[in-house]
Amino acid sequence: MKKFTIVLSAVCLILFSVNNAKADIKKLAQTGLQFLRVDVGARPAAMGGSYTMVGNDASSQFYNPAGIANRGHSDFEFFVNRTQWIADISYNAAALVKSLNNWGVIGVNAIFCDYGNDIIGTQVASTEKGFVETGNVDLGAYAIGLTYARRLTDKFIIGGNVKYALEHLGESMLEQNGATLQNKVSGLAYDFGTIFYPGFKSFRLGMSIRNFSSQFKYQEEAFQLPLTFKIGFAMDVMDFIGEHNNPLTLSIDAIHPRSYTERINVGAEYILMNVLALRAGYRYNYDEEGFTGGLGFMHEIAGFNINIGYAYSDFGIFNSVNRISFSVSH
């Protein structure tokens, strides 16, 4: 009865969030450093970003840090990803995890933002055009983090991540005195997550909080990071037929972001003979994003597990976003 109550409560929470997600937009332009909210990894992106309870690899550091303690018996894993974003922007990410045996699991992660083509700066001037060009603007952003997670019991996992984030948006010259100002912000942000197995087959539920921090400030304008609270659950639905070799995992995340109304991410992953993974998902209540899909290939070579993944994300008027990931574990 307790197990049933927990499952029912989780479903009610998701349905409540779905109902809220139908509301009109209530908040926009509330946060900065938006690269911190972009999906990292082909597997989670292909599943519509519904990865809070599914993540059990190095890439879970970017979603729910507790996931790295849910990796089975592998001693270490290395992960890299490239995301070809819209407007010639790209994101490169890497992560590494190492088991500390009974002491838990530790991980490091990094994401770097490349703003693409050269951007020419301008300055107001008494010319025919009303401005002069000041050369290329130096743009860049990155975040580097350290994660720790531990399985406290056979049913409960907890994890946290601390990261240093920086964004540089070029220089500004004050017309009054010619002084040059660096448009750069940096500081610490924190992620936290849990995973709980109530004992009903492979069903698990939990939560994550990402990008918790104090305010950042450009000159005189302060802003928050894209703080996001998620509640999610996942389950291998093939458990209902008994023993099987081809799991079909369904996952749902209810999302409460700082800068938008509530959202829902839904994802599915079917693994065939532990070689091929078929993934699909949908992102509900987004302006342009919607359907996602992708493939994964797994193979063991000399005791090393190799994973290659690809994800496609529909981006409405911006066409699509493509991701490719590679990981190796032992």
Rounded average pLDDT over 135-145: 85
How confident is the model over 268-311, as pLDDT tens digits? 999 999 999 999 999 999 888 999 999 999 999 998 999 999 99
CA distance 148 to 99: 10
pLDDT of residue 182: 74
pLDDT of residue 218: 79
Q: Is the pLDDT of residue 5 over 50?
A: no
CA distance 235 to 180: 55
Residue 8 confidence class, pLDDT cut points 50, 70, 90: very low
Tell me the whole-structure pTM to 2 decimals. 0.88
The domains of the chain are located at 2-329
How confident is the model over 34-77, as pLDDT tens digits? 899 999 999 999 999 999 999 999 999 999 999 999 987 788 99
**Residue among 279, 281, 254, 246 at smallest CA distance from 266:** 281
CA distance 193 to 157: 8
Question: Which of the residue ranges 180-184, 212-216, 245-249 would you say has the lowest mean pLDDT?
Answer: 180-184
Domain 2-329 has CATH 3.40.50.620: no
Q: Is the pLDDT of residue 107 over 70?
A: yes
Contacts of 169 (CB under 8 A, 6+ apart): 137, 139, 183, 184, 218
pLDDT of residue 222: 83
Average pLDDT taken over every residue of the chain = 87
pLDDT of residue 314: 94
